Copies of this chain bind each other. A is one copy, B any other.
């Protein structure tokens, strides 16, 4: 049995629905379907999720929301009409949209979560209706009914392990398709809470694990995950097969095709993930497989980069004799709830690299002041121009010459290196450089490991 998840652009309108349905019908093993909310139909279109956010804000601010209600419903109505689903069959969807403000929400955050979740929730309901209309034995399954329980914040929930017992006990027949909405679950108190954005991937992975799927197919709008960002490298090679941890390192550093957190249930259930293109389902896509027993065909699997970093550089004479030096700094970071990315340390120096998006200018100042006051460094420097490049590949482990290749290439392209970090992870080399050099560096490294035939 396979779990199949469709992204927002794969369910944006009637044509997209048709392609998705063809995929569902094409393989009887595709029994569990996870829907996203309808995405953009054209460049400046608004996603249904964003309409629902506007709707929720209007409710919270006591503004008029009748127009938004109609706009939302019209998106589902349009898709339904494509398949000849009658308006009265869609009345349940209309009613749910209209009655959303009457729900009982503990606070505005839960209200927002519940509104947002309905993009997926109503799309799953619609998909079931359309499939039934086409004579397919399909059933809408609500996360509440299936026991998909979540904990944590209303808009940043995490799955409760009890979910897996509930799903294993869920009763369904071998000849029916189950249509689940992605993105959300229910708290133990019965409130809707959503995963972080892009969280339909997470629902798919949870279902794949809970139902012990043979494969988790993740349908999106690209042919595969590519070995480099196509907006930087011209026509990059698609990745046929990669391990969980390769995916994790690459998605961290900028590969955003498959949601990061969604790998956890897949890893826990040892489920192979197949990222594929809804519009070209005949292409093999990318397989994301367990780390164990993987035999890499090439040295480097992918090259990613991010320019949203900054670094705090500290120098203090005899730093490493002070047992508590790093500890004190980490305590300050912890106090501000500020995660750091990496922390290369030298004899008398330490560099702490941050995601610049997570740290305001104000916090930078506070942080520098407090570090200065607490550990009294001989010098302290805040470096705002910091890009990080990640070269990832299971094939790199214990192999001679990989670093030589990378750094010779960068030297030939006259690219200055501000940081090298290898050895924590065995399957990647992390390189720090200046923002202006980052894209050139990625192209140079790509060229080296993926020479043109």
Contacts and interface: CB of A to CB of B under 8 A. Distances in A.
Contact of A417 (B263, B411, B422): B422
Interface string A396-438: 0011110111111111101111111111111011101000000
Given A324-B334, A346-B249, A346-B342, A404 B400 contact: no
Contacts of A400: 410-411, 414-417
Interface string A25-69: 000000000000000000000000000000000000000000000
A444 B412 CA distance: 21
Contacts of A249: 346-348
A351 B320 contact: no
A264 B346 contact: no
Given A330-B326, A343-B326, A348-B248, A403 B420 contact: yes
Given A267-B317, A423-B420, A334 B344 contact: no
Given A323-B333, A337-B323, A339-B321, A348 B403 contact: no
Contacts of A449: none
**Residue with the greatest number of chain B CB neighbours at <10 A, chosen from A248, A264, A339, A404:** A404
Copies in the complex: 2
A264 B378 CA distance: 12
Interface in A337-383: 337-351
A398 B434 CA distance: 11
Contact of A419 (B341, B349, B423): B423
Q: Interface range on chain A: under 10, 10 to 19, 20 to 34, or 35 or more?
A: 35 or more
B323 A425 contact: no
**Residue with the greatest number of chain B CB neighbours at <10 A, chosen from A253, A331, A338, A422:** A422
Interface residues of A: mostly helix, strand, loop or mixed? mixed
A318 interface: yes
Nearest to A261: B318
Given A323-B333, A334-B327, A344 B423 contact: yes
A252 interface: yes
Contacts of A414: 400
A406 B338 CA distance: 36
A419 B407 CA distance: 15
Contacts of A2: none
A245 interface: yes
A287 to B, nearest CB: 19
A92 to B, nearest CB: 39
A253 B342 CA distance: 23
A350 B424 contact: yes
A349 B392 CA distance: 14
A176 B397 CA distance: 65
Contact of A432 (B264, B338, B347, B423): B423
Contact of A424 (B261, B331, B351, B424): B351
A423 B430 CA distance: 11
**Residue with the greatest number of chain B CB neighbours at <10 A, chosen from A253, A263, A338, A408:** A408
Nearest to A245: B348
Contacts of A263: 317
Nearest to A351: B424
B346 A343 contact: no
B398 A416 contact: yes
Contact of A404 (B342, B346, B407): B407
A249 B348 CA distance: 8
Interface in A249-287: 249, 252-253, 261, 263-264, 267
Contact of A346 (B331, B333, B428): B428
**For the complex of A and B, 9 pairs with smallest distance between CB atoms:** A419-B423, A346-B425, A346-B424, A401-B411, A404-B411, A403-B407, A404-B407, A420-B422, A344-B424
10 contacts: A249-B346, A321-B339, A326-B330, A349-B424, A349-B425, A349-B426, A400-B411, A404-B407, A405-B411, A421-B421
Interface of A: 245, 248-249, 252-253, 261, 263-264, 267, 313, 317-318, 320-321, 323-324, 326-327, 330-331, 333-334, 337-351, 398-401, 403-412, 414-426, 428-430, 432
Given A320-B340, A346-B430, 10 more contacts: A249-B348, A264-B318, A326-B343, A327-B327, A344-B344, A344-B421, A345-B421, A403-B411, A403-B420, A407-B408
